[in-house]
Amino acid sequence: METTYSNNKFSKVPPQDGFRVAYILHLADNSLILGQRNAEWCGHGPVLEQDIAITNISLDLIGQARSFYQYAAQLINQHSPSPGGGRGEASEDSLAYLRTEREFKNCLLAEQPNGDWAQTMLRQFLYSTYQYYLYRFLQTNSDTTIAGIAEKSLKEVSYHLRWSSEWVIRLGDGTEESHKRMLRAVDELWSYTGELFIPAPYEKELSIDTAFLKDDWAKKVNTVFDEAALTVPSNVFMQEGGKTGTHTEHLGYILSDLQYLQRAYPGCDW
């Protein structure tokens, strides 16, 4: 019995490897989409130093995505390699550029608009806090490739967390205007944080339940919010669906930019 790891044309793999590929794509998609979002600030940051900083964070995230996509492609091709090899096989490019919105498995938080600098900083902080504890956990995963990518990426994620938390504090406990913008950012983004800790079917099948990370995540968020003179919202309805391919309208616009060149000129190299 075989099952597709997603509803796309690339491959059919046995169920257990299918769940593993789906989870690896989830990790890759999170980093790719958030990296693409952050890259929109390139040349538009508030000051040159921070413009460079967020661009470098984008590159870090896209580098993580590449590592995960390469591993996913390797697993896919083991089960259904192209008869002639080469372009017909799954690759990091085909997984990034030739899947549709419903095939992407990133959390909804990653695809939310940049808004202003405050919203971008809060989005990065909320996700980097989660990613930090997730990668620490994944360092001991039985899949040594996943564990290796997590371990290698953790130093980068630690910097992302420190940098974004400093900005949340600076803006939240800053001027009246910056505080107001941070409050608005919390209102815009908080409802997308619950999904981080709701396991998708493929996570359940792999016994990867991130719900236990919520306490550490909440403790860190509360500490930073206290310093930033912000209040953690309560009784907020949490959005979900991104992990299983149900996205907000924003993802389609991201992919239209990201995928345009490859779809306009199929198979192009650069």
pLDDT band at 209 (very low <50, low <70, confident <90, very high): confident
Residue-level pLDDT at 15: 63
pLDDT band at 5 (very low <50, low <70, confident <90, very high): very low
Q: How far apart are CA 125 and CA 109, in angstroms?
A: 11
Closest to 254 (Cα-Cα) out of 99, 128, 132, 119: 99
Mapped to the 3 state alphabet, what secondary structure does 171-230 carry? HHCCCHHHHHHHHHHHHHHHHHCHHHHCCCHHHHHCCCCHHHHHHHHHHHHHHHHHHCCC
Mean pLDDT of 25-51: 89
**Cβ(65)–Cβ(29) under 8 Å?**
yes
One-character DSSP codes across 34-50: HHHHHHTTTTTSSSHHH
- Asked whether residue 86 carries a pLDDT value surpassing 90, the answer given is no
- Which stretch of DSSP H or E encloses residue 158? helix 144-172
User: Cβ neighbours of residue 5 under 8 Å, at least 6 residues apart?
Assistant: 11, 13, 17, 18, 19, 21, 22, 25, 76
pLDDT band at 80 (very low <50, low <70, confident <90, very high): low
Closest to 29 (Cα-Cα) out of 3, 8, 14: 8
Domain annotation for the chain: domains and CATH numbers: 15-264 (1.20.1260.10)
**Total-model pTM:** 0.91
**Cβ(124)–Cβ(57) under 8 Å?**
yes
Closest to 60 (Cα-Cα) out of 138, 122, 127, 116: 127
Mean pLDDT of 205-231: 95
Residue-level pLDDT at 159: 97
Mean pLDDT of 96-107: 96
**Cβ(258)–Cβ(122) under 8 Å?**
no
Mean pLDDT of 172-190: 97
Q: Which amino acid is at 184?
A: R
Q: Which of 142-146, 159-163, 265-269 bottoms out in mean pLDDT, i.e. has the lowest?
A: 265-269
**Cβ(195)–Cβ(239) under 8 Å?**
yes
Residue-level pLDDT at 124: 98
- Asked whether residue 82 carries a pLDDT value surpassing 90, the answer given is no
Mean pLDDT of 185-192: 98
* Selection from 88-97, 116-125, 254-263 with the highest mean pLDDT: 116-125
SS3 of residue 86 by DSSP = helix
- Asked whether residue 200 carries a pLDDT value surpassing 80, the answer given is yes
Q: Which amino acid is at 226?
A: D
pLDDT band at 177 (very low <50, low <70, confident <90, very high): very high
pLDDT (tens digit, 9 = 90+) per residue, 116-157?
Answer: 999 999 999 999 999 999 999 999 999 999 999 999 999 999
Looking at every residue in the chain, the average pLDDT score rounds to 90
